[in-house]
A and B are shown apart, each in its own frame.
Chain A
Amino acid sequence: KQEVTQIPAALSVPEGENLVLNCSFTDSAIYNLQWFRQDPGKGLTSLLLIQSSQREQTSGRLNASLDKSSGRSTLYIAASQPGDSATYLCAVPGYYNTDKLIFGTGTRLQVFP
């Protein structure tokens, strides 16, 4: 059974720092991996999707990498800003039903001025 883990559970950094959020998964046979952002009390917004054939995807100050063989993905945020404060979740498709996503528990990020 696929399990998705995110470490750390919470992170607090000063504005301007570059930071890395980690996501690991137990079954490396994934089709893709997604990173989401969730603001307090809100739904999730898809940030990046990396296909299994890709090693990374970039969107603005965000860069996500994927290493299937080691069961890991990282989300790199450059020059963090207070507006980046949110919970970040990663998710992979289920093996038998790829329309369903399995989510990690998230990393709660706070960027202070």
Chain B
Amino acid sequence: DVKVTQSSRYLVKRTGEKVFLECVQDMDHENMFWYRQDPGLGLRLIYFSYDVKMKEKGDIPEGYSVSREKKERFSLILESASTNQTSMYLCASSRGDRVLSGANVLTFGAGSRLTVL
């Protein structure tokens, strides 16, 4: 069964800590994404990667960085966690075919709920 695995389901961190959220996919997908989901705001894209070592800012990249050293792994890094980064973080992946081929169907992980105190 193909899947996207997020290593931590629940994390509690303190303000100022460095936080790593890990995501691994086993579908050989080119594209990987990090979203955060907040009540009333829906899903907002933080960062996007379309290839190893390639990344692109999403709509809300401030306070975050990412790393993609291997195709299957996409890490989200909070350099200095703040309380406004308390949220549900969702990782997703998709094939790299262009949308005209009917691709870009996302497969999501189960999510990582981060609380920053």
Which A residues have a C-beta under 8 Å from some C-beta of B?
31-32, 34, 36, 41-46, 49, 51, 89, 91, 93, 97-101, 103-106
Contacts and interface: CB of A to CB of B under 8 A. Distances in A.
Contacts of A103: 35, 42-43
Contact of A32 (B41, B102, B110): B102
A43 B111 contact: yes
A98 B99 contact: yes
Contact of B90 (A31, A43, A49, A93): A43
Given A46-B106, A93-B104, A99-B104, 8 more contacts: A43-B4, A44-B92, A89-B42, A91-B43, A97-B56, A100-B48, A100-B58, A103-B43
A41 B113 CA distance: 8
Interface of B: 4, 31, 33, 35, 40-43, 45, 48, 50, 56, 58, 90, 92, 94, 96, 98-100, 102, 104-111, 113
Contacts of A105: 40-42
Which among A36, A98, A101 has the greatest number of chain B C-beta atoms within 10 A? Answer: A101
Contacts of B58: 100
29 contacts: A31-B100, A32-B104, A36-B106, A41-B113, A42-B111, A43-B4, A43-B90, A43-B110, A43-B111, A44-B92, A44-B106, A44-B108, A45-B108, A91-B43, A93-B99, A93-B104, A97-B48, A98-B98, A98-B99, A98-B104, A99-B31, A99-B94, A99-B96, A99-B99, A99-B104, A101-B45, A101-B106, A103-B43, A105-B41
Contact of B102 (A51, A89, A106): A51
B22 to A, nearest CB: 15
Contact of A99 (B40, B42, B48, B90): B48
B100 to A, nearest CB: 7
Contact of B99 (A31, A36, A42, A44): A31
B91 to A, nearest CB: 8
B60 to A, nearest CB: 13
Contact of A49 (B33, B98, B102): B102
Contacts of B90: 43-44
